[in-house]
Chain A
Amino acid sequence: MKQKKWNGYLRVGMVITACMLLLTLVGLFYAPYDHTAMNKAEKMLPPSSSHLFGTDNFGRDIFSRVLKGAGTTLTIALSTVVIGAVCGTAVGAVTGYFGGLVDEGLMRLNDALTAFPSILLALLIISLTGPGKYNVIAALGIVFIPSFARVTRMSFASLRDVNYITSARLMGASNARILLVHMLPNTMRVLLPAVTIGFNNAVLAEASMSFLGIGVTPPDASLGYMLSESQGMFAAAPWYAVCTGLTIVLLIFGVGLIGEGLQARNREVA
């Protein structure tokens, strides 16, 4: 059967995600207003052509704030996933390929770590290190390692005794070469969907932490932090909460669809 490279979920997801990424990228260099500039004359304005998403109680332009906030959220989520995926895959490769005592030990530690809900563990680390953008990245990155390790370990372990690996070993390939050149590309099948799920969890976790006031600290603004700000003025300026919330929803929705598409593609191959 010929493998279909693209399916509908993948296409729609890619389009949504690309739009969001493009907007945030543009937001890094250009925003209609300064996201911290206050303007007493333009408080709590509803959305209009001059303020796309309206203004908040300080007269700050919400569209510019959402752009900046999405940038922070994306930076944190991407860094977290990179830390989690790279370290997790390394742990998964070592434990899955070599097995033995190291495998047992690390997997028990993995079990103990997954006993904490991810947000709780991140809160714990933050309570020890204090809030702030980089602490959040470090905390969430560490929290995400076990789940990646578990997913990739299974994949590496199942490849260990496959014929082409055995023949590579007989031809004298080093362990590093086998792991990186022969096995890693074959784990992409499980790794890529895991990355999309991890990314969404990271967005949610960061937003939750900032919402609770133990994530990013001002002047950094993230979407979660803005949402907690907006709750207090929901009756007077509902557009603040709605626009910020919908941005989070779209971000997660797009990447979620990509994950769905990747899994659908895996099913077609199988």
Chain B
Amino acid sequence: MKAVAKRLLTLLLTMILVSFLTFAAFDIVSGDPAETLLGTQATPERVAALREELGLNRPFLVRYFSWLGGFFTGDLGTSYNYRQPVWGLVAPKLKVTLLMCLLCFVLVSATSIPLAIWSYRWVGGAMDWLRTGFNQLCMAVPPFFTGILVSWLFGIVLHIFTPGGFPDLHAHPWGAFKHLFFAAVCIGIPRAAMTVRMMRSTVVEEMQKAYVRTAISRGNDRSGVLRTHVLKNSLVSAITFLGQTMAEMVGGSIVVEQVFGIPGLGRFLVASISNRDYPVVQTIVVILALWVVLAGTVADVLNQIIDPRLRTGGKA
């Protein structure tokens, strides 16, 4: 329990550091938001009035803490570009991206772990060669390239979904699901290949340990030892890796949303960066970072539950 509490404290500290860095960076660079909002034609009086209204005359730290508080109250300021509350703009897009990443995560976990176990049969030999080559090839395919091919084949030729026309999540859940599914597959292919590669080398390493030799010499068969002992011991590194995968998916989703025309966080982030809509950018960055740190924390906590040795803070 103590280890979990310690991990959560680290999470909190990291998030405060991340949010502070983000806020400070944009505060330095973005210039005067009041002038940005009113344009170059505004009179100095109007700018001064707006600065007062937005609370820009307050000291830096006061503004930082009121912004940070906004994550709990839902008041994250106003978008420069849309003149609407940031949270109202971000929330529906967050839902779409979350759904896509979860879908991708399920796909990667469901395919890579069985594949890794299956590919364990071949160590050395021509099949091992082919398998490694194919694995490397899958890792080399950028998601936005598969995205172009997939949206052409399944969208334009087979009409399974409409590229660029993302249906409303609540009105047409099935249509939206199909759309997100293909995007998730594109993000997932290289990720799954990496997971297979990692899992397999862990299993191979684990199979050479003394306890496996003992188990086999006592008359257990290889696949039994694999299932009952080796897989459990490989679980810790698999969970850590999948936690990182969750984080990298967030990065992958930014590009793939663009390819498939999915109105998610990543696409909104890129548009907001181009429009210099800093309140929106700040918010999205902190949300994505929270996601990544959270995934890492969940993986760590799970590992501490599985492997008690990790709870004491010792090295595995």
Contact = CB atoms under 8 A, between A and B. Distances in A.
A231 B148 contact: yes
A248 interface: yes
B1 interface: no
B247 A128 contact: no
A57 interface: no
Interface in B128-159: 129, 132-133, 136-137, 139-142, 144-145, 148-149, 152, 156
Interface stretch (B42-50, B165-173, B177-185, B281-289): B281-289
* Interface bracket on A: 35 or more
A45 B259 CA distance: 24
B255 A117 contact: no
Most chain A CB inside 10 Å of its own CB: which residue of B148, B156, B288, B293: B148
A226 B140 CA distance: 18
A248 B25 contact: no
Contacts of B21: 112
Most buried by A among B18, B133, B142, B270: B142
Contacts of A241: 145, 148-149
A222 interface: no
A117 to B, nearest CB: 3
Contacts of A140: none
Contacts of B133: 12, 257
B292 interface: yes
B38 interface: no
Interface string B255-295: 10011000000000110011010000100010011001100
A234 B274 contact: no
Contact of B132 (A9, A200, A214): A9
Interface in A234-267: 234-235, 238, 241-242, 245, 248-253, 256-257, 260
B254 interface: yes
| B: interface residue count bin | 35 or more
A124 interface: yes
B142 A117 contact: no
B292 A230 contact: no
A234 to B, nearest CB: 5
Contact of B274 (A128, A214, A253): A214
Contacts of A245: 142, 145, 148-149
Contacts of B17: 108, 112
Contacts of B259: 231
Contacts of A238: 152
Interface of A: 8-9, 12, 108, 111-112, 115-120, 123-124, 126-128, 200, 204, 207-208, 211-214, 224, 227-228, 230-231, 234-235, 238, 241-242, 245, 248-253, 256-257, 260
Given A115-B14, A252-B139, 12 more contacts: A12-B133, A112-B18, A120-B251, A120-B289, A127-B273, A127-B276, A214-B274, A234-B152, A241-B149, A245-B148, A250-B140, A256-B136
Closest 7 CB pairs of A and B: A117-B251, A245-B145, A252-B140, A253-B140, A119-B251, A127-B273, A256-B136
